[in-house]
Amino acid sequence: MVVGNWKMNLQPARAASLVRTIAQEAEKPQYEQVELVVCPPALYLPLALKDWQPAGSLAVGAQNCHWEESGAYTGEWSAQMLRAIGVEYCIIGHSERRAQFGETNQVVGDKIKAAVQAGLGTILCCGETLAEREGGTHFEVVERQLLDGLSGVDKSQFAEVIVAYEPVWAIGTGKTASSAQAQEMHSAIRQVLAQKFGGPQADATTLLYGGSCKPSNAAELFAQPDVDGGLIGGASLDAEQFLQIAASFL
Ligand code: PGA
């Protein structure tokens, strides 16, 4: 699986052409085995789903949702609303939301629960800061993010969950985790998931790596046994780079 996290980027004309190009290319046989997802800014979601790719072959995801179904939450939207318009995935707990919008593990857990209940493929983001890695607490930090983030999800709902490991120090910095660092953490994540939900469930979970993933390093990262794909920021804003990353499984 390769997911493009556009963040707050692209004016409508460029966004439209990016979706159109990726949707067209996604039909080609080399992408048959890869689930391709684009996550544009929320206000483009209906356009991305209908106008920009009328056949609707490319999966579309949101970057965030509220934890309640509806109510007095100015400026927000719910997981049910996303699902109702045809959105299939939602990123939750991205480190930028944690750092800039005060999302705690508890808030992330509430949002994950809402997204899973709404039937969205729910992408839980986790990852340590540089200080946490240098302090040697990175495994603990990620374990806490997983356990709190998944506290409202039961075994039967867990199949909806995708986990994205994104070391904060690698996001937008050009510094990728080495494939060994990614594999080490992904394997630790699978163990935490196995303890909570069972081995077969953990084995079936898609684990994405994110943080300066680009065409030049994707193949090596995706070749790791516990890396099942990528969550792509900067490189997802360019159709050619995004598609090259998606073709890196071959
Ligand atoms: P990046 O961002 O690929 O630009 O490092 C990844 C992300 O934040 O999801």
Instruction: Please enumerate in sequence order all residues whose Cβ is within 8 A of that of 134, keeping only pairs 6 or more positions apart, or say none.
Output: none
* Model pLDDT, residue 121: 98
pLDDT per position in the chain (250 positions), as tens?
999 999 999 999 999 999 999 999 999 998 989 999 999 999 999 999 999 998 888 999 999 999 999 999 999 999 999 999 999 999 999 999 999 999 999 999 999 999 999 999 999 999 999 999 999 999 999 999 999 999 999 999 999 999 999 999 999 998 889 999 999 999 999 999 999 999 999 999 999 999 999 999 999 999 999 999 999 999 999 999 999 999 999 6
Taking the CA of residue 164 as reference, the ligand 1 atom at the shortest distance is: 9
CA of 219 to the centre of ligand 1 (A): 17
Beta strands 36-39 and 59-62 are parallel
Q: What is the pTM of this model?
A: 0.97
Label residue 166 left, alpha or beta by phi (over 0 means left) and psi (-120 to 50 means alpha): beta
179's tokens: 């494939």
Residue 211 has a pLDDT of 96
CA 165 to centroid of ligand 1, rounded, Å: 11
- Cα(173) to ligand 1 centroid in Å equals 9
Q: Catalytic residue at 138?
A: no
How far from 138 is each of 45, 50, 144, CA to CA, in Å?
A: 34, 41, 10
pLDDT (tens digit, 9 = 90+) per residue, 132-142? 999 999 999 99
Ligand 1 atom index nearest CA of 214:
3
What's the pLDDT score for residue 30? 87
Ligand 1 centroid distance, CA of 217 (Å): 14
User: What is the reported pLDDT for 175?
Assistant: 86
Would residue 166 show up in a list of annotated catalytic residues for this protein?
A: yes
Which mutation among 3, 37, 231 tests ligand 1's pocket best, with the greatest number of atoms within 8 A of CB?
Answer: 231
Of 94, 96, 103, 128, the active-site residue reads 94
Percent pLDDT > 90 in the chain is: 95
Best of 162, 213, 244, 245 for a ligand 1 pocket test (most atoms within 8 Å of beta carbon): 213
Q: What are 27's two structure tokens? A: 């039909």
- The set of protein residues with a Cβ atom below 6 angstroms from ligand 1 is 5, 166, 171-172, 210-213, 231-235
Residue 172 Cα: closest atom of ligand 1: 5
pLDDT score, position 250: 62
CA distance 168 to 211: 7
- Which pLDDT value is given to residue 60? 98
Residue 112 burial class via C-beta count within 10 angstroms: exposed 0-12, middle 13-18, buried 19 and up: buried
Closest Cα to residue 227, out of 213, 244, 209?
Answer: 209
